[in-house]
Chain A
């Protein structure tokens, strides 16, 4: 699935250069459930942005199913994000003025899915995360856990090849956290590749494969050496 080779990303911040990723090489296979842990500023989110085709590295390559995301055009990257990658944000990132149903539908807009089919697939996605009766609610009318479920439904509705989750349980209480993790595990069991960044070791331990990133470098916490 992912072939990451000598990946480096540097930022200019406050007059100095910050090396967020420093020569990362990594391979993630299809159907894996991978957790990425590490301290704040260690490069977790930057790595996820590279995997999610949202930013370009300073050097190195990221290849997703044969597509080099480092050299692809903006149009191709948008197409990859629209069809291949599902992304779950830590802060849910729902559009506050749209209902749960409409928020899920936004993920199908770039794929030009017709309106009726879009609505039907959004309803099904919401039902799959247990929110079949909450489609007409605005985000502000939903709990944190429900909002994260809507965000997961939005990521899943396009039937992506990989699900990238950035701190998916970061803003949730313990009970809700477990529900979300079970949901992600269920998706993994159904064959979806899942990569999640988390601070929570309890969550990370439930992953098949655990990575740690600190100072821009990645290390395996699980025995299987895949780099």
Chain B
């Protein structure tokens, strides 16, 4: 008699291989071919029938109605979602590293967070400090070429000093008297005082001749009560 086409194929499995399949024969998850093979083997194998009984008994036991079950405790899902939200939010350290505001931005934020009176006071003080700093620094900036001169080599000094006189002033002579005296003779201090207290006065002749200017100057100087000595110097040429 021919086997119907619908009969499942019988696999060529050893006893041990079939016995290994018995737990899954018991739970009904074998393939059609495996199931047919096991069933054919069970027909004549007492050991496998005993093992199958054991598997069935285990399956029944595990499926007992009072078996342990787990039910979600109250709020379990909400806690899970909270955990998901927490993980979705990057840690604060990462956030700050990702978008750390500039120093200027931090200062602006801090400034806007302060009360208005405090803010205006700080602004005024800052402006005052800035103005002071500008006043200190601006004159020192090299805005133009500056020529430096000593009292004896100033630009306004006579370039021709052919007429000079040596003068010794009294200690009581004031600066004001000295300036008046020099204006009167048309002279300027170009050197001194020396170790002996001698000043050199250069005379500008003006419209008169040098000799006239010198004699006039000497006369005025010698007439002044605070002048102890007034002598002409030999003519000196300067560049």
Q: Decide whether A and B assemble into one complex.
A: no
